[in-house]
Structure 1
């Protein structure tokens, strides 16, 4: 995603590299330095959409981040009357990774991030609306840190999320960094802006995909059962907070979750596991078809919409695989599992990274 240039003088990070601007808080002698997450670091434009708020460095590649998950967020709001949206964990991981890449590992503010995979494992029973006021502690370990000159080439982050002393989720993601010049070369002939995006088609009913507002629906009906068309509204204040020349990863995650909800009958779908991989950019100026495959807890699969796939009760574990296609070529895959009674998150799923061309 194109980013604005630096707004203040870069500061030196503790690895000897030059980092993007960040706000640090004065501490008593010997106390760790606290760094604030700014809108530039998180690639957000509204303060309400920034979930990690500050961090301290604990080791060369380890950090402790403080985050907040508001119960009344305009997009990542309640899934039902009891639970917060697990997708806010994926967005917190994404923002945290970018903020650390800028401020701690020297990625300039105009860096284009390319995320090849992202996985989270959650305990839905710990994502209660009643706990929303509690801060979230995120322990982050960065690995595979590769440099390009004085900046960053790529790295992986692994995170654990705790709230009120309880483990809520685990997550991981791998990303690469591309300079503006390299990005222009990479995207030569494909740089479609928001003005060239295809017009949003009518949304499916918001109840079918687990949303409370029609404007947050990112699916339209297709002419084949069990499939949907991606609905892209570049004017959405959260999903398209900044101008973009391709469909952001957040939109693809949400489209996959909405497709999983629709494929399992429109019931509340609380993802306890999410694993994603990206094979190319999803373009704004052409249709994107989403196909779904529903698997029961035993692993036997049937296409969504098939009379043979069975009926999954609210307490059953069910996995839905969502495949995104443009021009009949794969662009992304997201696998989501809903396990409502899980009380402890497992290890985050880590799909083998394919050749990538997508995510922020």
Structure 2
């Protein structure tokens, strides 16, 4: 059921605000990217978002918006619509099992004003326990200035608190686990990771080529906007991007223009997670390379990913 504040935002476009931060599981209002939403049909919605011209973590390199800003927007949409469109109570846990996106790099250019994004969302494969959804797939078409920006989808499950406690087997205390997480090892160089700030680097070097240890800094103000009991999906996506760049830093400035990521298990704080990458194929043109990235922890795959890294000089 549409709540009064959100319906009012849609009907009064002259008002400037964001959706409540609780709906997108953010502590900082500055990290809320969504402005309004409305239901447009059975299991169909429209969500409006705004991307800043500059962000503290999702930086605008070479006058291009960061593709992971799209992923964070999708993450927030999934949470917002779960709560408002499907009445999922606060306290329930949303767990990704797959994320896919493909974007038009030409539409990612930073303009003279913040980017206004419209997302057309359709929900499918909805499974319910009684009347409450337990899993679904959300499909997205993101539009900017009447041009298609990206297509994407996420598959996720929804767990009530008691179910999540059993699923996590004593690892659901976010505050305790965040505070007791090991100090992250020293990072790779900025040029290898393709990041300007040391604290934004999520890879640490190892003795093996194209293999790194995942750096988990639970004090990071964006990736850990609030305490979590496991490594967040956005940090794992960042490791895919950085590993794709670290394969060969001399390739230049690279943008992950597509990703297909399967999340197989929770990545924990107290056990090293190893990030491995390899070139899958050079792609049809030199400016694009397909890269495979895996995250391994305790001998099993925490996630597997394919990404296409595109040379921004070619865009």
TM over 0.5: yes
Question: Structure 1: where are the runs of 5+ without partners?
Answer: 1-12, 15-20, 300-312, 345-360
Instruction: Please show how residues 23-172 of structure 1 align to structure 2 within 5 Å.
Output: 23-26=5-8, 37-78=19-60, 80-130=61-111, 133-172=114-153
For 1:320 and 1:132, the matched residues in 2 are separated by 33
1:194 corresponds to which residue? 178
Cα pair 2:9 2:36 within 8 Å, conserved: no
Instruction: Please show how residues 1-360 of structure 1 align to structure 2 within 5 Å.
Output: 13=1, 23-26=5-8, 37-78=19-60, 80-130=61-111, 133-191=114-172, 193-265=177-249, 267-298=252-283, 316-340=287-311
For 1:265 and 1:144, the matched residues in 2 are separated by 40
**Which deviates more from structure 2 when the two are superposed, residues 110-119 or residues 81-90?**
81-90
Cα pair 2:6 2:37 within 8 Å, conserved: no
Q: Whose RCO is larger (CA < 8 A, sep 6+)?
A: 1
For 1:234 and 1:147, the matched residues in 2 are separated by 34
SS of the aligned residue for 2:266 comes to coil
Cα pair 2:38 2:46 within 8 Å, conserved: yes
Cα pair 1:120 1:170 within 8 Å, conserved: yes
Compared CA separation, residues 321 and 233, structure 1 to 2 (3 A): same
Cα pair 1:272 1:340 within 8 Å, conserved: no
Compared CA separation, residues 343 and 101, structure 1 to 2 (3 A): farther
For 2:26 and 2:63, the matched residues in 1 are separated by 28
TM-score (norm 2): 0.91
Structure number having the greater helix percentage: 2
Question: Structure 2: where are the runs of 5+ without partners?
Answer: none
> How far off its partner does 1:182 sit?
0.7
Compared CA separation, residues 318 and 106, structure 1 to 2 (3 A): same
Structure number having the greater strand percentage: 2
The total of aligned residue pairs comes to 308
SS of the aligned residue for 2:262 comes to strand
For 1:328 and 1:132, the matched residues in 2 are separated by 47
For 1:120 and 1:238, the matched residues in 2 are separated by 22
For 1:195 and 1:46, the matched residues in 2 are separated by 19
> How far off its partner does 1:207 sit?
2.2
